[in-house]
Chain A
């Protein structure tokens, strides 16, 4: 095959089978955004230095800017578009929205997916676990604090607890 002619792969995207053709040197990031029109996956450097393009590959958060599209044949990819269940937000999305963990919203898809993988692995992470898990995702708006609180809130709700945001995290101390 000529390097520039399109290659076609089949994989599972957000729970559904897809086939897509693209130039073989394209990264998963480019394939998602440009060939599948799923622009929810963002990018901040394309060099693996910020975490903004995070997607889940076979359940693990990876940098889609450094994954070759061709390497995804028959694998399982989850993007931010696959988080909500129908018209119901995922508990992480719900918590991020409630706490203002998304400010500009640009890094948000990546944080949601990294957190999703964390909670699948560890339903009751403590603050340090969360910091470690999210340490490969940069956010310039929030100072991460509302993100931690949102992950904790979502984790509690996913465990079936009736959790609400702490008053202090929404209003500060007065």
Chain B
């Protein structure tokens, strides 16, 4: 049986207590929410915290106030909330597409937003990684996906993150230095190792969703099976429309880079026009060009790149259809 290494487990009741515990634990301390990402990683010796600080007993993190969502709300709760299904169907839908019903009963919004980047040279046991002489992301020096590259190319595999970026959500972080609010898009780095701008001692407390006022968004996910699997491609498409015209748009891809990859060229192709066939085709083509999937997830990479076009088109067509 794969087992966890030994560690100290703490269950603070307040944010303040959690921050203090992290300060005490130092770099060997880590926060955990649902545990569905951290514990498998710990069993494979990706992360080896000596102290694990659970955030699940902190009431503020489970709060739902208006359009502000505490990050320890489970993915099941998020996908089942009637207000969400109505006002933020893309968020609810993305949450409902994460892994399996069992995992969604445990996994949280915050956990999915902070999901460790994935790579099939990395998401392996210690023994397996030893057989390839490890990789840059943990215990080694080379990125086997791109051996001449100075950086790690592990893939952002969150379903909710591309949606959060696309709809322009904001994240409230609390750390030893106090609070800060940043746009979702600035929460991520395009680097497989340092993929978050969040400091290790900061806690992602709340997601602030924009008021549902005249915009619409969809999320499409490509994977092998209808459950379990992480996205090999996620397409979050957001548009603001006035009359029949698109006044603003954002297309964000998941599963193709180390962060949710915004494609401004695709958005530009949609702006100031109808959501017509030509605009959709232009946006899909624009998304296809910069998408550079690498050979570190399920499926052949050239096919995944081809699918960018198909999935962006399908997402935009759904948006068009949903109008009215």
Task: Assess A/B contact in the complex (Cβ within 8 A).
Answer: yes
A160 at interface by CB-CB < 8 Å: no
A48 at interface by CB-CB < 8 Å: yes
Q: How far is the CB of A148 from chain B (nearest CB, A)?
A: 15
B35 at interface by CB-CB < 8 Å: yes
Q: How far is the CB of A116 from chain B (nearest CB, A)?
A: 13
A136 to B106, CA, bound (A): 13
Q: How far is the CB of B3 from chain A (nearest CB, A)?
A: 7
Query: A64-107, CB under 8 A of B: which get 1 and which 0?
Result: 00111011000000000000000000000000000000000000
Q: Is the CB of A30 within 8 A of B1?
A: yes
Residue of B nearest to A2 (CB): B8
Q: A3-B50, A30-B1 are in contact. Are A70 and B9 (CB under 8 A)?
A: yes
A23 at interface by CB-CB < 8 Å: yes
A133 at interface by CB-CB < 8 Å: yes
Interface centre among B36, B54, B105, by most chain A C-beta atoms within 10 angstroms, is B105
A51 to B39, CA, bound (A): 15
Residue of A nearest to B229 (CB): A49
A26 at interface by CB-CB < 8 Å: yes
Q: Tell me which of B8, B36, B54, B227 contacts A1 (CB under 8 A).
A: B8
Q: How far is the CB of A73 from chain B (nearest CB, A)?
A: 8
Q: Is the CB of A114 within 8 A of B102?
A: yes
Chain A-chain B contacts (Cβ-Cβ < 8 Å), number: 96
Which residues of A, 26-65, contact B by the 8 Å Cβ criterion?
26-27, 30, 43, 45-49, 51, 54, 57, 60-63
Q: Tell me which of B6, B7, B106 contacts A66 (CB under 8 A).
A: B106
A45 to B36, CA, bound (A): 13
Q: A23-B6, A46-B3, A46-B43 are in contact. Are A61 and B101 (CB under 8 A)?
A: yes
Residues of A near B89 (CB, < 8 A) are: none
Residue of A nearest to B38 (CB): A66
Residues of A near B106 (CB, < 8 A) are: 62-63, 66-67
Query: B1-25, CB under 8 A of A: which get 1 and which 0?
Result: 1111111110100000000000000
A70 to B228, CA, bound (A): 26
Q: Contact residue range for chain A?
A: 20 to 34
Q: Tell me which of B1, B50, B102, B226 contacts A54 (CB under 8 A).
A: B102
Q: Is the CB of B6 within 8 A of A3?
A: yes
Residues of B near A45 (CB, < 8 A) are: 2
Q: Is the CB of A3 within 8 A of B227?
A: no
A135 to B105, CA, bound (A): 13
Q: Is the CB of A51 within 8 A of B36?
A: no
Q: Tell me which of B35, B76, B105 contacts A68 (CB under 8 A).
A: B35
A57 to B102, CA, bound (A): 11
Query: A10-22, CB under 8 A of B: which get 1 and which 0?
Result: 0000000000000
Count residues of chain B with CB under 8 A from any CB of chain A.
31
B103 at interface by CB-CB < 8 Å: yes
A57 to B35, CA, bound (A): 15
Q: Is the CB of B6 within 8 A of A136?
A: no
Q: Is the CB of A47 within 8 A of B9?
A: no
A24 at interface by CB-CB < 8 Å: yes
Q: Tell me which of A3, A43, A135 contacts B8 (CB under 8 A).
A: A3
Residue of B nearest to A54 (CB): B102
Interface centre among A23, A46, A51, A63, by most chain B C-beta atoms within 10 angstroms, is A63
Q: Is the CB of B9 within 8 A of A46?
A: no
Q: How far is the CB of A36 from chain B (nearest CB, A)?
A: 16
A54 to B103, CA, bound (A): 10
Q: Is the CB of B40 within 8 A of A48?
A: yes
A132 to B228, CA, bound (A): 12
Residues of A near B3 (CB, < 8 A) are: 25-27, 30, 46
In order of increasing CB-CB distance, the 5 nearest A-B pairs are A136-B100, A135-B227, A46-B2, A136-B102, A47-B40
- Give A residues with C-beta under 8 Å from B: 1, 3-4, 23-27, 30, 43, 45-49, 51, 54, 57, 60-63, 66-68, 70-71, 114, 132-133, 135-137
6 more CB-based (< 8 A) A-B contacts, given A3-B50, A133-B101: A25-B5, A30-B3, A47-B43, A62-B102, A71-B35, A132-B101
